[in-house]
Amino acid sequence: MKYLLMICGDESAAEHANDGCGGWSEEMEQRGVVRGGAGLAPATDATTVRVRDQELLLTDGPFAETKEVVGGFVLIECADLDEAIEIAAKHPAAGYGTIEIRPVLDGPPPDAH
């Protein structure tokens, strides 16, 4: 099962940008659960894409009008949601921000055709 961990935080999370992950990355690499990931540029650099009635709508900034935005992501592969929760809870960002766990769909999305 693949999950995307979306590392979220508000503006104050930016001060943690260069903290590193306190051994989390090394541990998870060793466990072999990490499939990819990266930190992201600030949300002020984000562009949100929507198409409504065949019209392309672009918004400057993050997708939601919330204080918390995605600051990074990790793609993991593990047994089930309980293990994904355990992995996410160990990430230092869980202590100051939030981590949203999203299951990754296998193959093409169901409505692709």
Partner 1 sequence: MLPEDGPPVADDGSPVQAEGVADDGQLVEEAVGRAFRDEWGQVVATLIRVTGDWDLAEECAQDAFATALERWPRDGIPSRPGAWLTTTARNRAIDRLRREAVGAAKLREVAAMADDAVPDALEDQEDVPDDRLRLMFTCCHPALALEARVALTLRTLAGLSTAEIARAFLVTEQTMQKRIGRAKQKIKNAAIPYRVPPAQLLPERTPAVLAVLYLLFNEGYSATTGADLVRRSLSAEAIRLARVLAHLMPDEPEVSGLLALMLLHDARSAGRQGDDGQLIPLEEQDRSRWDAGKIAEGTDVLEAALRRREPGPYQIQAAIAACHATAQDAGDTDWPQIAGLYAELIRFMPTPVVKLNQAVAIGLAEGPAAGLLLVDELVASGTLTDYHLLPATRADLLRRAGRLDEAAAAYREALGRASTDAERAFLRQRIEETCPPASGPFVGEVTDDGKDAEDDRDQAADR
Q: Which residues lie near partner 1 (CB under 8 A)?
A: 1, 79-82, 85, 101, 103
Q: How far is the CB of 82 from partner 1 (least distance, A)?
A: 6
Q: How far is the CB of 85 from partner 1 (least distance, A)?
A: 7
Cβ proximity to partner 1, 1 vs 14, nearer residue: 1
Count other Cβ atoms within 10 Å, centred on residue 88.
20
Q: How far is the CB of 84 from partner 1 (least distance, A)?
A: 8
Alpha carbons 58 and 52: distance in angstroms, whole number: 11
DSSP, collapsed to helix, strand or coil, labels residue 103 as strand
Cβ proximity to partner 1, 55 vs 82, nearer residue: 82
Look at strands 47-52 and 98-103 and give their pairing.
unpaired
Cβ proximity to partner 1, 94 vs 101, nearer residue: 101
Alpha carbons 52 and 66: distance in angstroms, whole number: 21
Structure tokens at 28: 């998870």
Cβ proximity to partner 1, 43 vs 84, nearer residue: 84
Which amino acid is located at 67 in the chain? K
Q: How far is the CB of 87 from partner 1 (least distance, A)?
A: 13
